[in-house]
Amino acid sequence: MAHLKGELKNLAVYLTKVYLTKVYLTKEGVVERKDAAFKGAWYPADGQACEREIVRFLNERTGTLTGDYVGGIVPHAGWVFSGSIACRVIASLAGTGSGGAHGKVDLVLLFGHHMHPLDAPLVMGRGAWETPFGDLVVHQGVAGALAKAVGATTLGPDAFPDENTIELQLPFVKYFFPDAAIVPMGVPPSAHAERIGILAVEAALKSGLSLRVIGSTDMTHYGPNYGFSPAGKGQAALDWVKNTNDSRAIKAMVEMDVDTILAQGLEHHNLCCPGAVVAAVDAARAMGASRGVALDYTTSHETSPGSSFVGYSGILFERVPSVR
């Protein structure tokens, strides 16, 4: 056994030299790491700067919410645009603020990715993902069981796509759930989505894990940059996005209506990751949630006015005790 540990250590040292810290040694063996692709651009690169932003976010606008929340929907633009909402949703899931702690969380399921209905689901099946607060380790057992159950494509850290929908949430996850493992997954807007949410919870509970679930989506992408301008230009366009197009998608999420959520994204272009939302809604329902609560809403126009802009919302899914 001592000889084997020595060989593993030598292998880790060699691979570290070759792959520039993309692997490291733990008591379980060599762990591959996925480097953060958006740090220093879409969010701060170091932990102290991230923490300053988080402290500021927690005191903005509506703050956090108090309740028995098991899941949520977060936006995924750069932190300057939507970080405040994403932060406060994830903080509310952790019980941060006046509500206190909800107890230890072992696993956070993360659903995201911009996908076509015909795409196969993707899961990062092993390794760890870099954040400014330290790495988040993938729960290999749950990831493998889920991938097998839904026929997902399983990828390692290097092959799993560099994309913003999941990575932008990871510093918040590590900050508020420092001891939790993760399962990152790309979910297409198809019939797969509902099964993924339910089966993900089943896989976690069979392993005896406490969990939270996060679905990542932005809302209407409006204007010439996105080739979508059905309400014209100017204030009328902004009002239509806020009060009509995004409003009806928020209503569907709060009502946890998965059929309408999928239709909204595909037909009205007001959810860029409707598959991720559906998976999160069904996962939250499988965990006992019965209603959604809207935390906040904004658009990029508030930060950077222009003819092209994007909507962002934060939703929490709550378990409500039945009254008999």
Residue 138 carries which DSSP code?
Answer: B
Q: What CA–CA distance (Å, rounded) separates 5 from 204?
A: 30
Q: What CA–CA distance (Å, rounded) separates 228 from 270?
A: 11
CB 311, CB 264: distance < 8 Å: no
The model carries a pTM of 0.89
Q: What CA–CA distance (Å, rounded) separates 68 from 94?
A: 10
pLDDT at 202: 96
Nearest to 298 by CA among 93, 111, 74, 94: 74
pLDDT at 322: 66
Q: What CA–CA distance (Å, rounded) separates 129 from 137?
A: 6
Cβ-count burial of 235 within 10 angstroms (0-12 exposed, 13-18 middle, 19+ buried)?
A: exposed
Q: What CA–CA distance (Å, rounded) separates 313 from 324?
A: 33
pLDDT at 191: 83
In order along its 324 residues, the chain shows pLDDT tens digits of: 555 555 555 555 444 444 444 665 555 556 799 999 999 999 999 999 999 999 999 998 878 999 999 999 999 999 999 999 999 999 999 985 433 345 789 999 999 999 999 999 999 999 999 999 999 999 999 999 999 999 999 999 999 999 999 999 999 999 999 999 999 999 999 988 989 999 999 999 999 999 999 999 999 999 999 999 999 999 999 999 999 999 999 999 999 999 999 999 999 999 999 999 999 999 999 999 999 999 999 999 999 999 999 999 999 999 987 654
pLDDT at 28: 52
User: What does R_g of the chain's alpha carbons equal in angstroms?
Assistant: 20
Give the bridge partners for 30, in sequence order.
25
Q: What CA–CA distance (Å, rounded) separates 189 from 169?
A: 20
Sign of the dihedral through C-alpha 300, 301, 305, 310: positive
What's the fold here for domain 42-318? Protocatechuate 4,5-dioxygenase; Chain B (3.40.830)
